[in-house]
Amino acid sequence: MLVLGGGEPAYREILRLIDAGAALTIVTENPSIAISEILVTHASRANLIAHCAEQFLASSPLLSSFELAFLLSEKAEDNDLLAGPLEGAGVPCHVLYQPDKSSFVSATPLKRGHLKIAVSTDGLCQPLERAIARRIEELFVYDFDHYSLFLSALEEKLTGLKESNEADWIALNLRLEHEDFYLAIARKNFEEALRMVDNHMAAIAAGAAGDETEAEVEINRPRDSGKGVL
């Protein structure tokens, strides 16, 4: 991926892309100290071309080799200079402060483990995106911890099943689309949700196809029944 710019907007986007595992080509004559540190700590995935936009184009780069381009220079003319050639090469671009010239817009992420929430203003106001993301974090700070713990436990179960039997893993994911599993999560009853996962896995392992199995009866059993809860 290509990132043009060496200031704060470029730095924030570089952090997100590095966190997502992207390999970056960063084009800027004057990288900030923070970007320079990223170039050192992530040298295997972040490469610096110390050119301005005009010099970069003059070096005849193979623009079509980039999957995405983030034109984040604080000089609008530099972003405009690259936008046309990149578009001609079929490379989708995000242009700083100019959603009308962008083929996609980036969002401000909020991340806790496997849980990621993105806030977008369609590129109109990133400070508002950050403010809303911070507000969401403040409102749901304790819930995020519970959601992350639930996702970690769910991942362990799903990963183990996928490694042993991918067909059963697909069958389990289909069963988890059912309303009862959604309602358990909506009630924040993660213990019940994980119990449902275990019961579905048992039903699948037993070869359940059409009739309701004992495992599925247990899933749908009213919570005030005499039978104990695992």
Structural domains in the chain? 2-106 (3.40.50.720), 142-220 (no CATH)
Highest mean pLDDT among 70-79, 201-210, 214-223: 70-79
pLDDT confidence of residue 105:
87
What are 12's two structure tokens? 């924030």
Cα 52 to Cα 18, 58, 123, 170, 229, distances in angstroms = 22, 10, 24, 49, 65
pLDDT confidence of residue 109:
86
Question: pLDDT, tens digit, for every residue of 147-181?
Answer: 999 999 999 999 989 999 999 999 999 999 999 99
The mean pLDDT value of the chain amounts to: 88
CB 213 within 8 A of CB 221: no
pLDDT confidence of residue 208:
54
Say if residue 62's pLDDT is above 50. yes
Mean local confidence (pLDDT), 86-105: 93
For the chain, percent of residues with pLDDT exceeding 90: 72
Mean local confidence (pLDDT), 122-142: 90
